Amino acid sequence: MGIVVQKYGGSSVADATSIKRVAQRIVATKKAGHDVVVVVSAMGDTTDDLIDLANQVAPLPPGRELDMLLTAGERISMAVLAMAIGTLGQEARSFTGSQAGVITDAEHGKAKIIDVTPGRIEAALAEGAVAIVAGFQGVSQTTKDITTLGRGGSDTTAVALAAALHADVCEIYTDVDGIFTADPRIVPDARHIPRISYEEMLEMAASGAKILHLRCVEYARRNDIPIHVRSSFSDKTGTWVVKTEDVIQEGSTMEQAIISGVAHDRSESKITVVGVPDKVGEAAAILRALADAQINIDMIVQNVSAAATALTDISFTLPRADGQTAMTALARLKDDVGFERLQYDDSVGKVSIVGAGMRSSPGITATFFQALADAGVNIEMISTSEIRISVVVSDNQVDAAVNAAHEAFNLGTDEVEAVVYGGTGR
């Protein structure tokens, strides 16, 4: 049998008891005949505690030292996990990102993996050991300094190792049974999704589904590594994230679902630049200022100008944490660009429907918007991709919008067959 890469997040290794449970699962996988490589995050709140400690001595710690500090977290969890596996009679060896051959660029705090040379991991597997690798970290190719990969870093480490080792599967363990058609805390009859394509998962992740990070899904898609998202608290099959062809092949008589799920995101704010002269280059100047301030904007909407004034409004959404920085950067542009004023709104939420079947099914937008209207939800912004429709609504209308969309596309447990067979009469 082949190589299985398993990734356990911080909540799966929060304390000694959890670590012992994870160790048993790993040993069971090894006993089933697989070579096992485990990628592990820091225990529970360790990373936050270390950041707190850093902030006690330095308001703006240098990236190199912050990375050195934070990588202590995975060092602890991986060593303790290796010990717990050893207690079960199975040898396990822990490896830092550097030892595992995770080579990155030198961008501290958000390094990108540029190569994986897992020679020591292969040697450990060849000798019958389980290899435990620190997630979230690597070593810079140029400076030889320790780096961290930033958000979603441990998932990305797991997929990158799976690709470099030609693993059969990358299992991402979390505290839920996989991906659902909507957040079950908001939609009680949300349905478990057994299979989903990389493309849909990417749109779900970009739309606020926090279970897998964009970056890890993109890495898996590029290298065609099947991801199995599942719970570390149960043995249930989770959600497989695979090639589009493999989603469709699963049930040979089925068509693909038109809408796979409804995602939402409350982490963004909306900024509107009001009264921008409708001239060539004005929007570019605004976006350039935001890019220079290292701000990633998400949705962006420009209205047609009112003919009488030749003024337009430009609205965009961005991570709430970047709101103040963006407002400051834009305020500096006021005289150059000549806009009237800035509006800042942090009580917004984004609701998205995602589905590969959308490509070939007209009328999806109309159904979605009608459902929102019937639920009394006001749409503030709209953005679409080939397989996603997103709207920005008021923060306090997010739950209503998610439920309305979920129901409109019959994503609930009992009515799923109708959706899969395309029987909703759109």
Q: Which residues bind its own copies (CB under 8 A)?
A: 16, 19-20, 23, 50, 53-54, 56-59, 61-62, 64-66, 68-69, 71-73, 75-76, 78-80, 82-84, 86-87, 92-94, 99, 120, 144
Of 18 and 239, CB closest to its own copies: 18
Residue with tokens 């060092």: 75
Of 62 and 281, CB closest to its own copies: 62
Of 15 and 336, CB closest to its own copies: 15
In angstroms, give the least distance from the CB of 34 to its own copies: 22
Name 224's bridge partners: none
Name 4's bridge partners: 36, 169
Of 126 and 308, CB closest to its own copies: 126
- Extract the tokens encoding 9: 């997040």
Quick one: CA torsion of 107, 110, 115, 121, rounded to 10 degrees?
A: 120
In angstroms, give the least distance from the CB of 8 to its own copies: 14
In angstroms, give the least distance from the CB of 154 to its own copies: 17
Of 17 and 252, CB closest to its own copies: 17
In angstroms, give the least distance from the CB of 16 to its own copies: 4
> What span, in angstroms and rounded, lies between the C-alpha atoms of 294 and 13?
33
In angstroms, give the least distance from the CB of 33 to its own copies: 24
In angstroms, give the least distance from the CB of 14 to its own copies: 12
Contact 36, 30 (CB under 8 A): yes
In angstroms, give the least distance from the CB of 137 to its own copies: 11
AA identity, residue 233: F
Of 93 and 213, CB closest to its own copies: 93
The distance between the two most distant Cα atoms of the chain, rounded to a whole number of Å, is 80
Helices (H), 207-249: 214-223, 244-249
In angstroms, give the least distance from the CB of 31 to its own copies: 19
In angstroms, give the least distance from the CB of 157 to its own copies: 17
Contact 167, 3 (CB under 8 A): yes
Of 144 and 185, CB closest to its own copies: 144
Residue with tokens 């020679």: 119
For the chain, report the end-to-end CA distance as a whole number of angstroms.
Answer: 46
Please calculate the CA angle 54-58-64 and round it to the nearest 5 degrees. 70
Of 52 and 336, CB closest to its own copies: 52
Distances (CA, A) of 419 to 28, 106, 149, 389, 400: 37, 47, 39, 18, 21
Of 138 and 178, CB closest to its own copies: 138
> What string of DSSP letters covers 125-188?
HHTTPEEEEETTEEEETTT--EEE--TTHHHHHHHHHHHHTT-SEEEEEESSSS-BSS-TTT-T
Of 43 and 371, CB closest to its own copies: 43
> What span, in angstroms and rounded, lies between the C-alpha atoms of 342 and 339?
8
SS3 call for 243: coil
> What span, in angstroms and rounded, lies between the C-alpha atoms of 105 and 212?
23
> What span, in angstroms and rounded, lies between the C-alpha atoms of 74 and 133?
9
In angstroms, give the least distance from the CB of 326 to its own copies: 27
